[in-house]
Amino acid sequence: MQRCRTKQNTDYSLRQQDLSLLSQLWSLNESIQDFRQILQDQEDRVLSPPSPSPTPSSGDEDEYYMSATSTGYRTSSGMVGRKLSGSSAASGSIG
């Protein structure tokens, strides 16, 4: 009877250790997958061409100035179609 109990205790202890190792292995696998994803994202950023800037081309600027003059747009200085940049654009008034 004593032998049977010892075997049960040993089986229980081995099962607990097995579950603990399985949990650690699962966690390690998730960490490896996260690390791979981070590396892939970094590689994609390095290899991808830079996106074009949202500034208009010279042809677009000509259209901007032409449409501004045709609608009678005037700045506070009285210049037609004058392009304002930075914070002065927000504070400029239309006269």
Put simply, whether the predicted model's pTM sits higher than 0.85 gets the answer: no
Q: What is the mean pLDDT of residues 11-18?
A: 96
DSSP track, 6-70: HHHHHHHHHHHHHHHHHHHHHHHHHHHHHHHHHHHHHHHHHHSPPPPPSPPPHHHHHHHHHHHHH
Residue 11 confidence (pLDDT): 95
Q: Is the pLDDT of residue 13 over 50?
A: yes
Report, as an integer, the average pLDDT of 45-59. Answer: 69
In the chain, where the domains are located:
1-44
CA atoms within 13 A on the CB side of 67: 6
Using one digit for the tens of pLDDT, what is the confidence trace for 31-44? Answer: 999 999 999 999 99
Q: In terms of pLDDT, which residue wins out, 90 or 94? A: 94
Grouping H, G, I as helix, E, B as strand and the rest as coil, residue 81 is coil
